Amino acid sequence: MPESFKAKTASIMRFLIYSCALLSFITAEGQRANNMGPCVFPFIYKGKTYSSCTTAGDSAGKLWCSLTSNYDEDSKWTYCDASDPQPCHFPFIYKGKSYSVCTKEGNGDGQLWCATTANYDNDSKWKACSLHEYQGNSNGQACVFPFAYRNRTFYTCSDEHSVNGIFWCATTGSYDKDRKWSFCADTRQRANNMGPCVFPFIYKDKIYSSCTTAGTSSGKLWCSLTSNYDVDSKWTYCDPSEHLPCHFPFIFKGKSYSACTREGAGDGQLWCATTPDYDKDSKWKACSLQEYGGNTNGCACAFPFIYKNQTFYTCTNEDDKQGRFWCATTENYDKDKLWNYCADTRLDSNPTGPCVFPFIFEEELYSSCTTDGSPNGKPWCSLTSNYDMNPKRTYCEASGDKLQLTEDPGDSTDEHSP
């Protein structure tokens, strides 16, 4: 369970005392937690310095601390077990000042802490802030965002159905499927809102069924935590743990998908797997319906665009370290250096890349897009130098000709308030 502080006010110095009487818990190294005394911060364990309780080396993911400055030389330790485990309360008052995150203020040993009531000055109730996930049935594995719980999408920790209201998270992309979880690091929490995205939601009288960049100057995706943001302004960023692209095709319940799908989504949101087999890996992301991020804050793609003197009519993941697909937002990236990440709904299992000129098709040489061999009369180009041998193509469609599945981004000049 989470640790807590017991304040010692002399000289505004605090230190931790965690009593350990007859504990039978055993660490990964097989030692019993039977030592007495205060935690010593910082302490050294396996050559690494720790300034707070840690789960390192504990197979159960329980938080512990050293009772000496160097555990490697003097192996005395105890679990950071609280007698009355409570979550951090944000915001809280300390010395008349409001705090919305864990703080080191007033703590003589430099450890992050938080109050567990609204006013520390009145109640003197507090706890040490954990810096990592701990316990749960995943033994302290890190949170995975987003995760599905009761057919809803979470980008934050949750205290739903939690003993004592302690915040937790799933450690795979779906708690509903895998039932794996840990308690959240206290440093993940703050006075901002927590909970699942609510889809659809209303923002400035428009309805959104997915995360959106509407109203942000940064182009970051966000969602409302209420059905009507205009009435109850609670929100969070749609920020995944891993910034991975959709993987097309992918397997879900034994079926192959080549584009984003709503199948299996309790909140009706479009999604995709980020590995070839969701059934095996439970890794997924919500599909963005509009461009986002980049350095133009969500401006739409401009097709065709020039990159490294090549012509692109598709998004590309060239030179992106995480393999995410992007596009230029002007006709010449080489000149303007302006770009965004592509809406996931632009992507599918069709090949991507630059047109290759000249290219061979039916033993003839082409130096521009052509309608030859096009079943619908639309111009196309080869993505390889010899289409006859390696048949990969894309249509040569300008931005205005492309059909996009998007929502109106609204007025992007007015930011919604964090």
pLDDT tens by residue, 139-194: 999 999 999 999 999 999 999 998 788 999 999 999 999 999 999 999 998 767 78
Residue 339 inside a domain? The answer is: yes
Residue 418: is its pLDDT beyond 70? no
pLDDT tens by residue, 205-241: 999 999 999 998 888 999 999 999 999 999 999 999 9
* Contact indicator for 116, 127 with CB cutoff of 8 Å: yes
- H/E element holding 97? strand 97-99
**What distance in Å separates the CA atoms of residue 415 and residue 188, rounded to the nearest whole number?**
24
* Contact indicator for 216, 222 with CB cutoff of 8 Å: yes
Residue 279: is its pLDDT beyond 60? yes
Average pLDDT score, the chain: 85
Residue 15: is its pLDDT beyond 80? no
- Do residues 315 and 383 both lie within one domain? yes
- H/E element holding 257? strand 255-257
Residue 271 inside a domain? The answer is: yes
Among 236, 261, 286, which residue terminates a domain? 286
- Do residues 315 and 398 both lie within one domain? yes
Task: Find the DSSP H helices in 152-226.
Answer: 175-178
**What distance in Å separates the CA atoms of residue 127 and residue 33, rounded to the nearest whole number?**
20
Total domains present in the chain: 2
- Do residues 357 and 258 both lie within one domain? no
Greater pLDDT, 86 or 6 = 86
Domain containing 278: what range?
A: 250-286
Q: In this structure, what token pair is assigned to residue 183?
A: 């308690």
* Contact indicator for 202, 225 with CB cutoff of 8 Å: no
Greater pLDDT, 348 or 192 = 348
pLDDT tens by residue, 244-255: 999 999 999 999
Residue 50: is its pLDDT beyond 70? yes
Residue 325 inside a domain? The answer is: yes
388: domain CATH number is 2.10.10.10
**What distance in Å separates the CA atoms of residue 202 and residue 198, rounded to the nearest whole number?**
10
Q: Which pLDDT does position 81 carry in this prediction?
A: 79
Residue 161 inside a domain? The answer is: no
State how far the alpha carbon of 52 is from the alpha carbons of 17, 60, 104, in Å. 13, 18, 11
* Contact indicator for 393, 383 with CB cutoff of 8 Å: yes
Greater pLDDT, 69 or 18 = 69
* Contact indicator for 366, 357 with CB cutoff of 8 Å: yes
* Contact indicator for 322, 243 with CB cutoff of 8 Å: yes
Q: Which pLDDT does position 30 carry in this prediction?
A: 38
- Do residues 313 and 386 both lie within one domain? yes
- Do residues 280 and 334 both lie within one domain? no
